[in-house]
Structures are given as C-alpha cells and as structure tokens.
C-alpha cells in the first residue's frame, strides 16, 4: 500500500491541503501514520474516504451527517444508511418547496413593479417594509 503526504492526498482528491486538515480536526479523516518528523502519511483508504466526504457534502449532507454515514458504513448498516439518505431527501424536498414559495412571491413583486416612479409607490419596497 502506497503511502503519500498531505499535499499528494489533497491533489489526488481534488481538494486543498487546508481542507484535509479541516476534516482531520472535524474527526472525519486521520492520517494512516506519521513519520518521526511529524509529517502525515496517507494511503488509498484515506483518498477514498476524502472523496466520500466531498461527494456527501455535494449531496447536502452536513459534516455530522457524514460522520454518522461513515460510522454506519463501518458497521455495514445499509438499512440505516438508506434511512439517513431518505431523511436528507425529505429535507431537501422541503427546502425546495420553500424556495419555490419565495421565488413565486418575489416574481410577483418584480412583475408588479414598473421600475420607475416614486419609491413610496414601489410594490417591492411596500411589501418589504409593510405590516403584512
């Protein structure tokens, strides 16, 4: 098993060295070992784990949720992994619905604003500053 330094790990995983250190501080990643000089050494296992973390983040999982997924993965608890992913999907669908409501409300305000005239007559400003 090849042993590489933090710079090579970061490069192969497509992240910065500071990102690797951040994940280490967050307890998501650990060097395979350290040299007597204190330099961190990593293997293909850490590269895979780092890619897992980045992909999970891209899907909207928080660092805590990723930590839980990694824990479930080590326990081979696929049923709980699926439950976690289903919960994340439901959360994303809820946020999308909320964003659609915000979008529709803002679109209505933009459409109703002529873009000229007195600020007191601006429907956008009235809606934002009003009692409603």
Q: Identify the pLDDT of residue 74.
A: 85
The whole-number pLDDT of residue 56 equals: 96
Confidence tier at 33 by pLDDT (50, 70, 90) = confident
Q: Which of 51, 3, 6 is nearest to 28 (CA)?
A: 51
pLDDT of residue 34: 83
Instruction: Name the nearest CA neighbour of 51 among 29, 68, 75.
Output: 29
Q: What pLDDT is recorded for position 130? A: 73
**What pLDDT, on the 0 to 100 scale, is given for residue 40?**
87
What are the tens digits of pLDDT across the range 54-108? 999 999 999 999 999 999 888 888 999 999 999 999 999 999 999 999 999 999 9
Q: What is the mean pLDDT of residues 112-132?
A: 86
Mean pLDDT rounded to a whole number for the chain? 91
Tell me: pLDDT of 131 over 80. no
Q: Which of 40, 34, 29, 39 is nearest to 66 (CA)?
A: 29
Nearest to 20 by CA among 65, 50, 45: 50
Distance CA 19, CA 53 (A): 11
pTM: 0.74
So what's the pLDDT on residue 9? Answer: 93
């Amino acid at each position: 098993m090849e042993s590489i330094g933090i710079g090579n790990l970061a490069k192969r995983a497509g992240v910065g060295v500071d990102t690797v250190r951040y994940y280490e501080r967050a307890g998501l990643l650990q060097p395979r070992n350290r040299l007597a000089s204190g330099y961190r050494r990593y293997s293909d296992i850490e590269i895979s784990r780092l890619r897992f973390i980045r992909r999970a983040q891209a899907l909207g999982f928080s660092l805590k949720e990723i930590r839980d997924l990694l824990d479930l993965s080590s326990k081979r608890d696929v049923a709980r992994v699926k439950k976690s992913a289903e919960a994340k999907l439901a959360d994303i669908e809820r946020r999308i619905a909320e964003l659609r409501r915000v979008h529709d409300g803002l679109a209505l305000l933009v459409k109703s604003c002529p873009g000229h005239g007195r600020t007191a007559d601006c429907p956008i400003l009235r809606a934002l500053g009003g009692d409603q």
